[in-house]
């Protein structure tokens, strides 16, 4: 069963349907791979096979027998839910997230909890309180964050699919660093019920897979309206694989975001890979148009302010009173709050809470938070105006290949700017799909993203799948796995 490590979901389904393997054997096979490659740091916990069977009783469904991982900010009833933070170490979820429930209804065994940046705050997966995640293409480098564990596991062939979460690029950035496919859905398409909040107006759960078709299949299993989530869109369930014909829509107009592809500081190898991808789309019959998004320049600063403001509010609940870590030596309530939150949160989380409180404070909220909301509306308007001229946008996901672990320990601004090309879509609430489009001379993946208007996921998958069929990048595998 060695070839199953990097098999597509459909290939594994064929093995199951023809009874060449059983669902129990598939689960055991991937559990063994997760344990064998534990030094990658992709998982915080791998469940035992018996408990997985108890949690997954559905014997039918589009993902029957296809195992995966959930990022450790997504609730699984009776399992630990730590957000890779000491503040929640040992905490057990009391209910299933909607996506957890829907994936199990689709027959998918969930093998464990994926490692992540603490409370999803980071772009490199170096802020986990428990251990760092490594990039399977070069274990001296980061996989990207904050969904680095989810992405690294898929890229290394440890699971066929996983779920991450996005606030400013936390699925797409690591997907591009690791050479896999990652989706940031339309805001409200996927329920946030059971997702531990970072910035509630920006957060979305997204699937990670090795192929576009696999990604569409996983989204089909979990997307759709949910009464538990007040921000959930009242849209019907959709088969996102329905348009995967290998052809692009007739008359497709692709907008090339010129001020992104030719942005200052872009690695020449990434720019070259994007130009080659554009040529593939021309060959497929698309027309290409230059588009400029001037507000892109303000995206990172806008995201910085809004996300941290919401984080300060959301993380106020972790105070040691109701659940999680509590300093039991404190003599006063104020001391208990102060020491619990200091000891429970890592430096990155503490810094973001402090910034969030500052930009919301009296005398500063108008200068920072209110202005950021204005910039957010401008960003949305620019995207909407662009989609009046073209059908889809093509732009980079990252400006440089995956960097070395510790490279930006002393340069926090450069770390924050890793979200430069991705956070605009979170601010606008629109979907974006990251997929591999090349390799550097040092054998590191290069990714790009396709961006569409609200609820255009099926359309994005159709276009991306056609590109994927013309290129070899989704077949590339990291050595040693």
Active site residue 374: no
Report which secondary-structure segment, H or E, holds 412.
helix 412-416
Name the catalytic one among 13, 43, 71, 132: 71
In 115-248 the beta strands, taken as DSSP E runs, fall at 161-166, 181-184, 204-209
Name the catalytic one among 128, 147, 150, 170: 170
Active site residue 232: no
Active site residue 147: no
Q: Which two tokens stand for residue 13?
A: 């389904």
Name the catalytic one among 85, 123, 128, 146: 146
Helices vs strands, H then E, count in the chain = 16, 11
CATH 3.90.1300.10, applies to 2-247+470-475: yes
- Evaluate if pTM is beyond 0.85: yes
- Which burial class, exposed, middle or buried, applies to 322 when counting CB atoms under 10 A from its CB (0-12, 13-18, 19+)? exposed
Q: Which DSSP string corresponds to 267-327?
A: -HHHHHHHHHHHHHHHHHT-EEEEE--TTHHHHHHHHHHHHHHHHHHHGGG-SSSSSS---
Written as tens digits, the pLDDT of the chain (481 aa) is 558 999 999 999 999 999 999 999 999 999 999 999 999 999 999 999 888 876 665 667 999 999 999 999 999 999 999 999 999 999 999 999 999 999 999 999 999 999 999 999 999 999 999 999 999 999 999 999 999 999 999 999 999 999 999 999 999 999 999 999 999 999 999 999 999 999 999 999 999 999 999 999 999 999 999 999 999 999 999 999 999 999 999 999 999 999 999 898 899 999 999 999 999 999 999 999 999 999 999 999 999 999 999 999 999 999 999 889 998 899 999 999 999 999 999 999 999 999 999 999 988 999 999 999 999 999 999 999 999 999 999 999 999 999 999 999 989 889 989 999 999 999 999 999 999 999 999 999 999 999 999 999 999 999 999 999 999 999 999 999 9
Q: Which two tokens stand for residue 338?
A: 């102060």
Q: How far is CA 15 from CA 20, 72, 220, 325, 365, in A?
A: 5, 30, 21, 45, 57
Q: In angstroms, rounded to a whole number, what is the distance separating the alpha carbons of residues 444 and 434?
A: 16
Q: In angstroms, rounded to a whole number, what is the distance separating the alpha carbons of residues 419 and 296?
A: 11
Output the CA angle 466-470-473, nearest 5 degrees. Answer: 105
Q: In angstroms, rounded to a whole number, what is the distance separating the alpha carbons of residues 201 and 240?
A: 25
Is 216 strand, coil or helix?
Answer: helix
């Amino acid at each position: 069963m060695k070839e199953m490590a990097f098999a597509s979901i459909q290939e594994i389904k064929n093995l199951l349907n023809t009874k060449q393997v059983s669902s129990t054997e598939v689960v055991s096979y991937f559990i063994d791979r997760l344990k064998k490659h534990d030094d990658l740091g992709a998982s915080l916990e791998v469940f035992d096979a018996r408990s997985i069977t108890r949690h997954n009783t559905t014997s039918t469904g589009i993902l029957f027998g296809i195992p995966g991982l959930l990022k450790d900010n997504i609730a699984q009833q009776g399992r630990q839910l730590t957000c890779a933070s000491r503040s929640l170490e040992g905490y057990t979820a009391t209910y299933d997230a909607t996506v957890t429930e829907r994936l199990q209804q689709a027959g998918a065994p969930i093998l464990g909890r994926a490692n992540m940046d603490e409370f999803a705050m980071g772009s490199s997966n170096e802020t986990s309180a428990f251990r760092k995640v490594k990039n399977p293409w070069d274990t001296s480098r980061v996989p990207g964050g904050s969904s680095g564990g989810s992405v690294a596991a898929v890229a290394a062939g440890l699971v066929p699919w996983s779920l991450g979460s996005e606030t400013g690029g936390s699925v797409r950035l690591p997907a591009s660093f690791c050479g896999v496919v990652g989706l940031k859905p339309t805001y409200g398409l996927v329920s946030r019920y059971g997702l531990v909040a970072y910035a509630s107006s920006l957060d979305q759960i997204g699937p990670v897979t090795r192929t576009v078709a696999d990604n569409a299949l996983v989204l089909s299993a979990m997307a759709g309206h949910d009464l538990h989530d007040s921000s959930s869109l009242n849209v019907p369930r959709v088969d996102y694989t329905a348009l995967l014909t290998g052809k692009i829509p007739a008359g497709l107009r692709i907008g090339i975001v010129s001020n992104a592809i030719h942005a200052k500081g872009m690695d020449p190898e990434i720019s070259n890979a994007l130009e080659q991808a554009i040529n593939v789309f021309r060959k497929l019959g698309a027309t290409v148009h230059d588009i400029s998004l001037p507000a892109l320049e303000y995206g990172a600063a806008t995201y910085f302010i809004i996300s941290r403001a919401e984080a300060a509010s959301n993380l106020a609940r972790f105070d040691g009173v109701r659940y999680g870590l509590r300093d039991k030596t404190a003599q006063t309530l104020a001391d208990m709050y102060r020491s619990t939150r200091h000891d429970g949160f890592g430096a990155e989380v503490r810094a973001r809470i402090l910034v969030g409180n500052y930009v919301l404070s009296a005398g500063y909220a108008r200068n920072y938070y209110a202005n950021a909301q204005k910039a957010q509306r401008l960003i949305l308007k620019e995207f909407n105006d662009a989609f009046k001229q073209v059908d889809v946008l093509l732009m980079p996901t990252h400006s440089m290949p995956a960097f070395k672990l510790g490279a930006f320990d002393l340069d926090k601004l450069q770390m924050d700017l890793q979200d430069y090309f991705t956070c605009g879509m979170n601010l606008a609430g629109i979907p974006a799909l990251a997929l591999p489009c090349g390799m550097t001379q040092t054998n590191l993946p290069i990714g790009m993203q396709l961006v569409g208007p609200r609820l255009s996921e099926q359309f994005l998958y159709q276009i991306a799948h056609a590109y994927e069929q013309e290129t070899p990048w989704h077949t590339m595998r990291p050595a040693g796995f």
